[in-house]
Amino acid sequence: RYDVLIVGAGHAGAAAAIALRQRGFAGSIAIAGDEPELPYERPPLSKEYLSGDKPFERLLLRPAGFWTDRGIALILGRKVVTVDAADHRVVTADGGAIGYGTLVWATGGCPRRLTCSGHDLAGVHGIRTRADVDRMIVELETASSVAVIGGGYIGLEAAAVLRKLGKDVVVLEAQDRVLARVAGEPLSRFYEAEHRAHGVDVRTGIGVTCIEERDGQACGVRLADGEMVACDIVIVGIGIVPNVEPLLAAGAAGGNGVDVDTHCRTTLPDVFAIGDCAAHANRYAHGAIIRLESVQNANDQAMTVAKAIMGTPEPYEALPWFWSNQYDLKLQTVGLSANYDQLIVRGIPSSRSFSIIYVKNNHVIALDCVNSTRDYVQGKMLVGVSLQGKAEGLEDPARPLKQIAV
């Protein structure tokens, strides 16, 4: 039995254990995770790790000795399949039981799979774990063409790396523009143009009928209009399904993720949930229940949970931020842009350094900054600020954002 058992050895789980020890928690802590690796950074999986620019050792969140030195037990390669909330214990796939005083559920999600025929063929890949990418790297040695289904951040990052590796790449996006779920149209159009300029065949408004097979191996994507897009590898980047079945089966409220309150408490006694799997009312989404899939959210919710466990609770109100690297473009976003009613393009996209400011009810709600760290840093101060009487000249990068924030 551990005083705190964390399930999921990813960003949120690791950060929760670190935060507890940093804040002086003296009880026993264990992290149980189904991957065999020590906790590692996931963002490089579609960036420097896929490209071969960063070896796996440099992805580790902490060296091995850190966990032993801090008395944090790592129970790796063990998947939790059942939660017994009344008895305060979990059961792993191998039948072992682990008791807890407090449970922190930090299990992230699995790549959403296609439902069409061929979705499970060899050569069809999601990108979520080191194992996913290692499998793909082996196949890339002999593959020359890749179809990426889904024009979200992960799909586009992978497309950029694969072009760098000299592969033929097609991106197939169901909506009428890439990044439609997360960004305004000018940003989508900018990234479409960049990818095309780098030789990616970006196709939008595309329906996928099935994955075609040759000798049990994916060999192409059949589109709704009948066209066959031949390829050696298919990457599916269409979002994640949160890993919450054991908690929901134990009676926790939830659906798309597990519901948590402002202290990341689930509806089960002594059970918290954090990170990608935690559905919470986000202040920056005007209280809407959302899941955030970002390192920021994983780290900040981990801190929230550590404070709650230590008896010094503070509600989760952190400002969301995110980044994405594609080619030599560094996108940094702050705030949440959904439901904006006004969009200001600051600077000229073709200069490859510009920002987009999202406004709702005359208040700045978010910024997307491309190769513009200055705007990103100063824009953090701008989220929530009223533009009443201050909006003039905002599209001019020569006018520093900090002038508007004060």
Instruction: Report the interface residues with ligand FAD, using CB under 6 A.
Output: 7-13, 32-35, 42-43, 45-46, 79-80, 106-108, 127-128, 154, 243, 246, 275-276, 293-296, 298, 322-324
Q: What's the rounded Cα separation, in Å, for the pair 230 and 235?
A: 13
Q: Of the two residues 243 and 355, which places its CB atom closer to ligand FAD in the complex? A: 243
Which one, of 146, 113, 18, lies nearest residue 4 by Cα?
Answer: 18
Q: Of the two residues 108 and 118, which places its CB atom closer to ligand FAD in the complex? A: 108
Distance of CA 192 to the CA centre of its chain: 21
SS3 82: strand
CA 328-299-324 angle, to 5 degrees, is 15
Q: What's the rounded Cα separation, in Å, for the pair 386 and 97?
A: 53
Q: What's the rounded Cα separation, in Å, for the pair 151 and 196?
A: 13
The CB-of-17 to ligand FAD minimum distance in angstroms stands at: 11
The CB-of-127 to ligand FAD minimum distance in angstroms stands at: 4
Q: Of the two residues 212 and 276, which places its CB atom closer to ligand FAD in the complex? A: 276
Largest CA distance in the chain: 66
Residue appearing with tokens 């919710």: 301
- At position 160, the amino acid (one-letter code) is A
Q: Of the two residues 81 and 223, which places its CB atom closer to ligand FAD in the complex? A: 81
- What tokens does 34 get? 């189904």
Q: Of the two residues 96 and 269, which places its CB atom closer to ligand FAD in the complex? A: 96
Q: Of the two residues 94 and 396, which places its CB atom closer to ligand FAD in the complex? A: 94
β 72-76/97-105 pair status: unpaired
Answer for the pair 78, 91: CB distance below 8 angstroms, yes or no.
no
Q: Of the two residues 234 and 298, which places its CB atom closer to ligand FAD in the complex? A: 298
SS3 92: strand
Q: What is the DSSP string of 218-279?
A: EEEEEETTS-EEE-SEEEE-S-EEE--HHHHHTT--EESEEE--TT-B-SSTTEEE-GGGEE
The CB-of-222 to ligand FAD minimum distance in angstroms stands at: 26
The CB-of-321 to ligand FAD minimum distance in angstroms stands at: 8
Answer for the pair 264, 273: CB distance below 8 angstroms, yes or no.
yes
The CB-of-151 to ligand FAD minimum distance in angstroms stands at: 15
Q: Of the two residues 16 and 344, which places its CB atom closer to ligand FAD in the complex? A: 16
The CB-of-264 to ligand FAD minimum distance in angstroms stands at: 12
Residue nearest to ligand FAD (CB): 10
The CB-of-364 to ligand FAD minimum distance in angstroms stands at: 21
Answer for the pair 39, 52: CB distance below 8 angstroms, yes or no.
no
The CB-of-40 to ligand FAD minimum distance in angstroms stands at: 9
Q: Of the two residues 219 and 295, which places its CB atom closer to ligand FAD in the complex? A: 295
The CB-of-323 to ligand FAD minimum distance in angstroms stands at: 5
Which one, of 372, 345, 357, lies nearest residue 405 by Cα?
Answer: 357
